[in-house]
Amino acid sequence: MGGGEDSVKALVTGGGGFLGRYIVEKLVARGDSVRVLGRRNYPELAGLGVDSVQADLRDPVAVTRACEKIEVVFHVAALPAVWGKWKEFYGINVEGTKNVLAGCKAHGVPRLVYTSTPSVVFDQSDLCNIDESYPYPHSYNCYYPATKAIAERMVIAANGRDGLVTTSLRPHLVWGPRDNHLIPKVLQRAKARQLFIVGDGFNKVDITYVENAADAHLQAADRLVAGSAVAGQAYFISQGEPVVLWDFINQILERLGIPRVTKSISYGTARSIGAVLEMVHALFCLHAEPRMTRFLAAQLAKSHYFDISKAKRDFGYSPRITTAEGLDRLVSFIRQTDASARV
């Protein structure tokens, strides 16, 4: 574990995951002491001198124990999927967050940074440069944003109670080297010729290079004190420059020697297919994720990008890694990984 007089004792839930591991590495690099709570052991983190606690977020005793002698919690762990059982989403995303809040209260943890998602305000319409005043929708057609919204509201409501100061970050479409969710799924479907442009192909979206998202977490935590501008607030995080979604995807595919996506279907057709597949999967209790859902159709067809000026103003966020540089790093990583797999 880390170092000097100014070092902080941090707990990172989900610290072995994609974004969580980058946060851990940045904390360690600056000399902070880090504890990770995750479902598995992560040998690569042990090599960094990180204290690992193997436990489930739904275990309140284990979560409370993990919060002992901690000065700041980064609650990154979540179930991020477009399909699954309500019980699973609620248990991990909501009950898990309740347990983290209870653990903070039990041990007098002063600061909590929660990793949310812009999907908590996604209402199936085009969201163009909206800011944090945009309201939560009245309903959701996906359990992930529904449960993340419940959890975010709990975190914000907990600000100022029992000596705890909280904030919520909403990084959008986090990508980069070691991504085990977003980019691999796109590449898999593209290689199998199962990827289609949904809508007119001109929708703009915000993306967030993973190191920029990690930087935002540390910057917010460092400014998070009682009475500060950051306390009790939610923030959109991104590159600050939206991309045309399908141009960005095709740029990645081209650089990896994978054929571009050219075939398209209308948003209405994709949404209808999603509704049917959701019904079939629910009726026959199929565990596999449907190839299309209503939520996914809207995510692929609609514009969703955000005003990040609040994060810039309140805690000095600025995307350090440009999209072009991030893309270079991603492509290099994928090529190296593929080469290693062939050896």
List pLDDT tens digits, range 127-177: 999 999 999 999 999 999 999 999 999 999 999 999 999 999 999 999 999
Give the up-direction half-sphere exposure of residue 55: CA atoms within 13 A in the CB hemisphere.
22
Separation of alpha carbons 242 and 129, rounded Å = 9
Name the percent of the chain in helix, strand, coil, to the closest 5: 45, 15, 40
Strands (DSSP E) found in the chain: 9-13, 33-38, 51-54, 72-75, 111-115, 127-130, 165-171, 174-175, 197-198, 204-205, 208-209, 233-237, 243-244, 264-265, 304-306
pLDDT given at position 267: 98
The pTM for the full model equals 0.96
| Residue 6 banded pLDDT, cuts 50, 70, 90 | confident
The two most distant CA atoms of the chain are separated, in Å, by: 59
Residue 1 banded pLDDT, cuts 50, 70, 90? very low
Is 60 exceeded by the pLDDT of residue 4?
no
Q: Which among 114, 140, 144, 209 is annotated as catalytic?
A: 144
Tens of pLDDT, residue by residue over 264-320, are 999 999 999 999 999 999 999 998 999 999 999 999 999 999 999 999 999 999 999
Mean predicted confidence (pLDDT) in 182-191: 95
Say yes or no to pLDDT of 2 above 50: no
Gap between the Cα atoms of 323 and 336, Å rounded: 20
Q: What is the pLDDT of residues 194-210, one digit of tens each?
A: 999 999 999 999 999 99
pLDDT in tens, 7-58: 899 999 999 999 999 999 999 999 999 999 999 988 889 899 999 999 999 9
Distance between CA 145 and CA 15 in Å, rounded? 21
| Phi-psi domain of 58 (left: phi exceeds 0; alpha: psi -120 through 50; beta: other) | alpha
Q: What is the pLDDT of residue 7?
A: 84
The predicted structure's pLDDT at residue 187: 96
**pLDDT, mean of residues 237-241:** 98
Inform me whether the pLDDT recorded for 343 exceeds 70: no
Q: 141 and 125 in contact (C-beta within 8 Å)?
A: no
Crossing angle between the packed helical segments 245-255 and 182-191, to the nearest 10 degrees = 70
d(CA 224, CA 208): 22
Secondary structure class of 91 (helix, strand, coil): helix
The mean pLDDT value of the chain amounts to 96
Contact 61, 38 (CB under 8 A): no
Please state, in angstroms and rounded to a whole number, the distance separating the CA atoms of residues 277 and 86.
17
DSSP characters for 134-201?
Answer: SPPPS--SSHHHHHHHHHHHHHHHTTTSTT-EEEEEEE-SEESTT--SHHHHHHHHHHTT---EETTS
Fold of 9-175+207-239+304-313: Rossmann fold (3.40.50)
Determine whether 144 is an active site residue: yes
Query: What's the pLDDT at 5?
Result: 54
Average pLDDT for 221-237:
98
CB 13 within 8 A of CB 77: yes
